[in-house]
A and B are shown apart, each in its own frame.
Chain A
Amino acid sequence: MSSKDTPYAVLAEFANPADLMDAASEVNKAGYKHFDTYSPFPIHGMDDAMGLKPSKLGWIVLAHGIAGLLGGVALQVWSMDIAYPLHISGKPYLNFPAFVPVAFAVVILLASFGAFMGMFFLNRLPRLHQPIFNSDRIAKATDDGFFICIEATDPAFSEQQTSEFLKSIGATYIETIPE
Chain B
Amino acid sequence: MSQNTATVPDERLVKGNHDFASITKLISDIPQEKTPLWWYIAFGISNILLAVMLAMVVWLVWEGIGVWGLNQPVGWAWDITNFVWWVGIGHAGTLISAILFLFRQGWRTAINRFAEAMTIFAVMCAGLFPAIHVGRLWTIYWIFPLPNSMQLWPNFNSPLLWDVFAVFTYLIVSTLFWYVGLVPDLATMRDKVKGKISKMVYGLFALGWTGGNRQWQNYEKAYMILAGLATPLVLSVHTIVSFDFAVSIIPGWHTTIFPPYFVAGAVFSGFAMVLSLMIITRKLYKLEDIMTVDHIEKMNIIILVTGTMVGFAYAMEFFIAWYGGVEYEKFAFINRAFGPYAWAYWIMITCNVVAPQFFWVKKFRRNIVLTFILSIVINIGMWFERFVIVVTSLAQDFLPSSWGYFSPTYVDVLTYVGTFGLFFTLFLLFMRFLPMISIAEIKGVMPQANPAYYRTQNGHSKKTD
Chain A residues engaging chain B, CB cutoff 8 angstroms: 16-21, 24, 36-47, 50, 52, 55, 57-58, 61, 75-76, 79-80, 83-84, 86, 88, 91, 95, 98-99, 101-102, 104-106, 108-109, 111-113, 115-116, 118-120, 122-123, 125-130, 132-133, 138-144, 149
Q: List 23 A-B contacts (CB under 8 A).
A: A16-B451, A17-B449, A36-B214, A40-B188, A41-B441, A42-B213, A42-B217, A44-B465, A47-B217, A79-B153, A80-B157, A88-B155, A98-B156, A99-B156, A102-B165, A105-B165, A108-B229, A112-B226, A125-B208, A142-B191, A143-B20, A143-B21, A144-B20
Tally of contact residues, B, Cβ under 8 A: 72
Q: How far is the CB of B215 from chain A (nearest CB, A)?
A: 5
Give the complex CA separation of A62 and B226 in angstroms: 12
In the bound complex, do residue B221 and residue A119 qualify as a contact, i.e. CB atoms below 8 Å apart? yes
In the bound complex, do residue B207 and residue A120 qualify as a contact, i.e. CB atoms below 8 Å apart? yes
Chain B residues engaging chain A, CB cutoff 8 angstroms: 19-21, 24, 145, 151-157, 159, 161-162, 165-166, 168-169, 172-173, 176-177, 179-180, 184, 187-188, 190-192, 203-204, 207-222, 225-226, 229-230, 232-233, 236, 240, 243, 439-441, 443-444, 448-455, 465
User: B218 touches which one: A36, A57, A76 (CB < 8 A)?
Assistant: A57
Find chain B residues with CB under 8 A from A144 CB.
Answer: 19-21, 24
In the bound complex, do residue B213 and residue A43 qualify as a contact, i.e. CB atoms below 8 Å apart? yes
| Number of A-B pairs, beta carbon distance below 8 Å | 209
In the bound complex, do residue A101 and residue B465 qualify as a contact, i.e. CB atoms below 8 Å apart? no
In the bound complex, do residue A39 and residue B211 qualify as a contact, i.e. CB atoms below 8 Å apart? yes
List the A residue with the shortest CB-CB distance to B453: A18
List the B residue with the shortest CB-CB distance to A53: B217
Q: How far is the CB of B192 from chain A (nearest CB, A)?
A: 7
Give the complex CA separation of A118 and B233 in angstroms: 20
List the A residue with the shortest CB-CB distance to B222: A119
List the B residue with the shortest CB-CB distance to A116: B176
Q: How far is the CB of B23 from chain A (nearest CB, A)?
A: 8
Give the complex CA separation of A52 and B230 in angstroms: 28
Give the complex CA separation of A142 and B440 in angstroms: 8
In the bound complex, do residue B210 and residue A132 qualify as a contact, i.e. CB atoms below 8 Å apart? yes
Find chain A residues with CB under 8 A from B168 CB.
Answer: 105
In the bound complex, do residue A41 and residue B225 qualify as a contact, i.e. CB atoms below 8 Å apart? no
User: B157 touches which one: A39, A50, A91, A119 (CB < 8 A)?
Assistant: A91
Give the complex CA separation of A130 and B225 in angstroms: 27
In the bound complex, do residue A118 and residue B222 qualify as a contact, i.e. CB atoms below 8 Å apart? yes
In the bound complex, do residue A55 and residue B157 qualify as a contact, i.e. CB atoms below 8 Å apart? no
Find chain A residues with CB under 8 A from B172 CB.
Answer: 109, 112
In the bound complex, do residue A127 and residue B207 qualify as a contact, i.e. CB atoms below 8 Å apart? yes
In the bound complex, do residue B145 and residue A112 qualify as a contact, i.e. CB atoms below 8 Å apart? no
